[in-house]
């Protein structure tokens, strides 16, 4: 049996009529860039997040980078984040000219260890950039408290955590801005690249709207900016898919419960859900306890199961990592390094069939028994 890591085409087939209609509507409208379809989707997105603004952009990377610029982050500033995340989190910081300061993750959730943040704060610290890794929110209540105390900005990386929430907070509620990604493999994905920034701040939203369009405040007027716009075609597609996101997350959580139950005695470290949090299970990541991650990965792949690793190389372990003034590690990052060495992502998407789930469980347990 082959178990794919993604269900993109199945999802398209399930929504084919509506998605095709949305595409044709844009094609027939003669409005393809900064048109009414994008405007409508931005309204739906802001309403969905419960934020005052949503600004459609070309990618999740720009959805993190542009709010940082809008908030005045630049050379000489420091931003505190984690190293066990997708490269773009740090890239966004670096492209402003600021320094990324990595603190360790905590082993249960693999999110930023909030007890390690304060020791990393210096007079140069400007922002905290928590990542809601794998689909579970970082402890935003604690992070917001630290930010208030030290007068810091907070930019949330929500690329993996659309439809997640904390026990007492929503994404976007306790920060200056949230960046998310709509690249196809994310929980809410278009057929290509897109992203959006959500914020409750009028000044930030207005500045990002200018920055995404060559710094233009009005037609034919320019200051410095970029071309970072979301196409109306993507907005039309995402508008159809946004209506499904809650049901899709519910299904992901149902599959997670099946994996949890079946793998409880496997000897693998399973995902931990914070009490009261809604984990959106962008990824279902287990960790090997015997140092044999690569063997388990090879065994699953050999048996037709397309398991992957997120992320086998932490950012500070990357070649080309800009050591020196652009990056700093505070207090060591042993948990993040352990996560990189032992993580393995099992197939996780709403369109998985019961047979595929059962087969994935069977092969995983088979390997665990042989390697106990």
Binding mask 167-186 for ligand PLP (x = CB under 6 A): --------------x-x---
Number of residues that bind ligand PLP (CB under 6 A): 15
- Residue numbers 189-228 binding ligand PLP by CB under 6 A: 193, 195
Measured from each CB, the residue nearest to ligand PLP is 60
In the complex, the smallest distance separating the C-beta of residue 88 from ligand PLP, rounded to whole angstroms, is 4
Distance from C-alpha of 247 to C-alpha of 263, rounded to nearest angstrom:
24
| Min CB(232)–ligand PLP separation in Å | 18
C-alpha–C-alpha distance, residues 197 and 51, integer Å: 10
Identify the bridge partners of residue 276 per DSSP, sorted by sequence position. none
φ, ψ at 164 (rounded to 5°):
-95, 160
Q: Decide if 196 contacts 178 (C-beta within 8 A).
A: no
To ligand PLP, the closest distance from the beta carbon of 67 in angstroms equals 13
Sequential DSSP letters for 21-75: HHHHHHHHHT--BS-HHHHHHHHHHHHHHT-SEEEEES-HHHHHHHHHHHTT--T
Strand pairing of 153-157 and 125-128? parallel
The residue within the footprint of ligand PLP, chosen from 11, 61, 111, 335 (CB under 6 A), is 61
Name every residue whose Cβ is closer than 8 Å to that of residue 155 and which is 6 or more positions away in sequence: 64, 67, 68, 71, 79, 127, 128, 129, 175, 176, 177, 178, 179
The distance of closest approach from Cβ of residue 161 to ligand PLP in the complex, given in angstroms and rounded to an integer, is 9
Tokens 């709403």 locate to 350
Question: For ligand PLP, which stretch binds (CB under 6 A), given 54-62, 68-76, 99-107, 224-232?
Answer: 54-62
- In whole angstroms, the minimum distance from the beta carbon of 65 to ligand PLP comes to 9
Given a contact cutoff of 8 angstroms between Cβ atoms, the answer to whether 147 and 138 are in contact is no
Nearest C-alpha neighbor of 187 from the set 108, 253, 109: 253
Residue 225 to residue 36: CA distance in whole angstroms:
22
Question: Near ligand PLP by CB under 6 A, which window of 86-94, 118-126, 345-353, 363-371?
Answer: 86-94
Strand partners, 329: 102
Site for ligand PLP in 240-299 (CB under 6 A): none
Q: Please report whether residue 60 would count as binding ligand PLP according to CB under 6 A.
A: yes
Q: How far is the CB of 62 from ligand PLP (least distance, A)?
A: 7
Residues 125-164 that bind ligand PLP (CB under 6 A): 131, 157, 159-160
- Judge contact between 284 and 260, C-beta under 8 A: no
Tell me how far apart the alpha carbons of residues 372 and 370 are, in angstroms, rounded to a whole number: 6
Give the helix/strand (H/E) hosting 344: strand 343-346
CB of 234 to ligand PLP, least distance (A): 11
Residue among 59 and 210 whose Cβ is closer to ligand PLP: 59
Nearer to ligand PLP, 131 or 211 (CB): 131
Nearer to ligand PLP, 160 or 197 (CB): 160
Looking at the Cβ atoms of 90 and 300, the one nearer to ligand PLP is 90
Minimum CB–partner distance for residue 64 and ligand PLP (Å):
6
Nearer to ligand PLP, 172 or 303 (CB): 172
Among 54, 73, 88, 238, binds ligand PLP (CB under 6 A): 88
Q: Which residues bind ligand PLP (CB under 6 A)?
A: 59-61, 85-86, 88-89, 131, 157, 159-160, 181, 183, 193, 195
């Amino acid at each position: 049996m082959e178990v794919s890591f993604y269900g993109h085409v199945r999802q398209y087939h399930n929504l084919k009529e509506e998605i095709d209609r949305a595409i044709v509507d844009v094609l027939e409208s003669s409005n393809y860039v900064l048109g009414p379809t994008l405007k409508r989707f931005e309204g739906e997105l802001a309403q969905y997040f419960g934020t005052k603004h949503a600004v459609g952009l070309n990618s999740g990377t720009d959805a993190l980078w542009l709010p940082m610029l809008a908030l005045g982050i630049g050379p000489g500033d420091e931003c505190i984040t984690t190293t066990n995340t997708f490269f773009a989190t740090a890239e966004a910081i670096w492209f402003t000219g600021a320094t990324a300061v990595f603190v360790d993750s905590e082993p249960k959730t693999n999110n930023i260890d909030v007890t390690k943040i304060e020791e990393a704060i210096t007079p140069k610290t400007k922002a905290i950039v928590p990542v809601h890794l794998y689909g579970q929110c970082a402890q935003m209540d604690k992070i917001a408290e630290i930010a208030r105390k030290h007068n810091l900005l907070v930019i949330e990386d929500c690329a993996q955590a659309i439809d997640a929430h904390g026990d007492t907070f929503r994404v976007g509620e306790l920060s200056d801005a949230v960046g998310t990604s709509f690249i196809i493999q994310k929980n809410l994905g278009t057929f290509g690249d897109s992203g959006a920034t959500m914020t409750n701040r009028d000044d930030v939203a207005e500045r990002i709207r200018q920055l995404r369009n060559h710094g233009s405040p009005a037609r034919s007027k320019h200051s410095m900016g970029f071309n970072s716009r979301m196409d109306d075609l993507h907005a039309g597609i995402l508008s159809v898919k946004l209506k499904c996101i809650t049901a899709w997350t519910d299904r992901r959580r149902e599959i997670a419960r099946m994996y949890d139950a079946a793998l409880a005695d496997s000897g693998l470290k399973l995902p931990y859900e914070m009490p009261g949090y809604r984990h959106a299970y962008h990824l279902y990541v287990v960790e090997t306890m015997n140092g044999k991650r690569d063997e388990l990965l090879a065994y699953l792949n050999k048996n037709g199961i397309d398991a992957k690793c997120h992320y086998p190389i932490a950012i500070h372990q990357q070649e080309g990592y800009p050591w020196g003034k652009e990056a700093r590690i505070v207090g060591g990052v042993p948990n993040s390094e352990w996560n990189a060495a032992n993580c393995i992502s099992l197939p996780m998407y709403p369109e998985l069939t019961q047979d595929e789930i059962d087969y994935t469980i069977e092969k995983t347990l088979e390997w665990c028994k042989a390697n106990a």
